[in-house]
A and B are shown apart, each in its own frame.
Chain A
Amino acid sequence: MISQQAPLKGLQTALERADAQTVDTERLREQVHTALEEAGVETPTRPASAKLTHDQTDLLVDLLEGFSSRREILEWEQELVIQTVGQLEDSWFTRVASDAPTVSALLGEPWGEVDGIRPDLALEVRRGIVAKDLLPAFHAAHEVARWSAVERVDHLADDPEQEGMEPIEPRDQEYPLMRPAFGEIAGQQEAALGQLLEGFESPEQLLAWALQVVGASYAEIDRETITQPYFELPIRRRLVTEEPTEEDMFIRESWAAEYLLPAFNRAADALADRTTEVTAGQQYRGESGDGSIT
């Protein structure tokens, strides 16, 4: 139990320190990671949960830090979909990336019909989102993931057969929640979002992308929705152009916020209790056979 209480404590004190006008976010990030690593146990026995907490920490600190563009907000939301295991409302993603006062607070500068925003107010809003939306969602994600997180105690065994077993380092793990399926879907979603924002060279490419989105959303995107950018010529023109105007970019981003992210969110939710956990990402294993010191 100690291992589960202690990280929270570390998180609390770190958050209290953040209660200043300007946030030293890198320091906060470092502190939370260190607090998590040093809390109670040398090596976590449920590394998948620890990995989730580490990844969530990064997203939390990113939000406190604010963003420099709407595109960054969307990319952050896409990661959030994965690390909350789809536990936020679908509409939340649309609202946060489209509601003018919220977007202004996230960017720390005027956006849409909002003329200006005081920095302290912007920070207050961001903190509010962390407290009101993010933490409950992270909580829900842990609830979904907690009992399926594999307990790994091999490295603690006295059994000579097991000698040499290494503990699992959560931060070295490649996949979100240590589940390859999540790594896969995260990669697909990131690519699909990136392509949409970059635009397409031809209508054919747009069609191929539509199929990709079907995969990346585990078919959680509506049939009509995914063909809409192709059939509705005004939208298609915004997407298939080599030199997009600001307006084109606005439409692309808005489409992502309105349709893509909610679908991604449903996909993560659907995937949550159907995946298997593995350890992966420690590619260096065995490299030291030739005595690598790096």
Chain B
Amino acid sequence: MSTDNDSGEIADCQEHSLLEVAQNPDLLRERVEGVTAPSIDKTREETGDKRAHTVGENLRRAFGFRRWTNVLEDLEQADHPAMEDSSHPIVEHPRAFLDHLIHVDDMDKLRLEHGELEGLPKERREMFQWLRQNPEIVQELRNGGTDWLAYGPKGSGKSTMSAAKVIRQLEVNLDAVVWRGTSARTEWLPLRAWTRLCLPAGLEVEAYLDPPADDMEPVEIDLERMCHEVVRYDSIRDLNHNVLEEGHFHVVYPDPRFRGATKAYQEAEEIGEIPHHSAWDVQVDEELERTDITPSKMWWFAWAIDKIDQGPPIWLSWFCDEIGNVMPEHADNDYHQLYDRISAFRDKYVDARRNKFSTFGIGHEPGDLHNMMRKKMRWQITLAGIDNPTGKTVGMGDAPMGRNYTQGMQLGQALSWNSQNFAEFSWSDIPSQFKVPGQLHVRFPEVLEVVRSC
């Protein structure tokens, strides 16, 4: 008992197999709600104590990941598949992977140069110490926010990879991580015990877990019990300025009232205004019909634009699951001015890097993402199960790969590349106690009522 304190609380739910859990509503609810993050209340983010460990480190330990610096040291020792006396491609070609993972700004570059690492969280400090011994890598790290588009077919490990990326983001960077919450997809559930769930203020919410067994009724879930914290936001700016916190993992559900959304366009520089019509607006406005209600996913454009334009100046990483649904290739203006919205985001995205805003998109294939944004993504991650390109690509010039590498890959492996370099990487599975059988549905019942009355 003394050696295993970190996982002690979690071990309790190991008494039953996942199969048993999936067939019993009480066990299922306990599994979803019962996982707690050991010692999360002792973290730097929760206590403000600079000596304390971070949420990222807490997560990394719970998921059994090695310290990132240890991974880097191992990668340094590992062989390059094609070059003698070289390290693993991740370290050998920092532009392919490390560049988009490690977020640094001017201040960090100065810190690295002068070895002044005081005040940094331990894991970031250790990584900086490693970087100081590898100045050639520091040179390759671009300042500011980064982005990638990760794609692969269903079951290619996108969610698991994203969870690993979220954990590493929180461990080595200072970012507030935001996961796009949707009513039907909840790929973030393994991270639930560390999640700050951000919901629009003043709206009742209900959550049901749809069990994998067909003959079972949906199980009602208490989100307060399930998540580390449930927080409410009044408007987009309130969310960005007062609710999101650096070092934490957030799952954000869009506001169906679109509070502060139109204002985001109005006040942002160099883009035109695009309106939003919530169900409540349509209910009272006789000229509008039910089909004019703006779909909630349009909220994300306003949110991202406002963060980039109006701050706050915190690091922020947006993990956009199913990015092809938000910014589809076939977008046109007949459908709620979707084309204009993507275009506005694209224009604003020029400032994203400088304003420490990163976009990490997850989809099925590169063609799903609108080409305007595809061109803005400086990195792509091709997962096992889909061929990596070898020639001309949209927005990335010629791919640097001379042949098909992902073809020979197995589940849990992928290729990270930009127009110059590529590196393969892999990740381990999510510990089974964090997995949840079935899908969680999060709904705002009032919205449905109002829509019906329109």
Contact = CB atoms under 8 A, between A and B. Distances in A.
Q: Do A and B interact with each other, yes or no? A: yes
Interface of A: 24, 26-27, 29-31, 34, 55, 58-59, 61-62, 72, 75-76, 79, 164, 166, 169, 284-294
Given A76-B1, A291-B423, A294-B63, A26 B42 contact: yes
A291 B425 contact: yes
A72 B1 CA distance: 8
Given A26-B42, A61-B2, 11 more contacts: A26-B5, A58-B3, A169-B70, A286-B78, A287-B74, A289-B79, A292-B425, A293-B425, A294-B63, A294-B64, A294-B428
Given A26-B39, A30-B52, A291 B2 contact: no
Contact of B88 (A27, A169, A284, A291): A291
A292 B427 contact: yes
Interface string B94-120: 000000000000000000000000000
Interface in B329-386: none
Nearest to B47: A27
A294 B70 CA distance: 10
Interface string B51-75: 1110000000001111000110111
Interface residues of B, number: 35
B66 A294 contact: yes
A293 B428 CA distance: 8
B53 A30 contact: yes
A30 B39 CA distance: 10
Contacts of B122: 34
27 contacts: A24-B42, A26-B42, A30-B42, A30-B53, A31-B51, A55-B3, A58-B3, A59-B2, A62-B1, A62-B2, A72-B1, A75-B1, A79-B1, A166-B73, A166-B77, A169-B70, A288-B77, A289-B78, A290-B424, A291-B88, A292-B71, A292-B425, A292-B426, A293-B168, A293-B425, A294-B64, A294-B428
A34, A79, A164, A290 — which one has the most chain B CB atoms within 10 A of its CB?
Answer: A290
Interface string B162-176: 001000100000000
A129 B389 CA distance: 67
A292 B77 contact: no
B317 interface: no
Contacts of B428: 292, 294
A27, A30, A76, A291 — which one has the most chain B CB atoms within 10 A of its CB?
Answer: A291
B426 A76 contact: no
A75 B73 CA distance: 37
A185 to B, nearest CB: 16
Nearest to A289: B78
Given A293-B168, A294-B164, A288 B74 contact: yes
Contacts of A294: 63-66, 71, 164, 427-428
A293 B66 CA distance: 9
Contact of B426 (A26, A30, A59, A290): A290
Contacts of A291: 75, 78, 88-90, 423-426
B42 A27 contact: yes
B413 interface: yes
A155 B74 CA distance: 14
A27, A75, A294 — which one has the most chain B CB atoms within 10 A of its CB?
Answer: A294
Contacts of A289: 78-79, 88
A293 B1 contact: no
Contacts of A29: 5
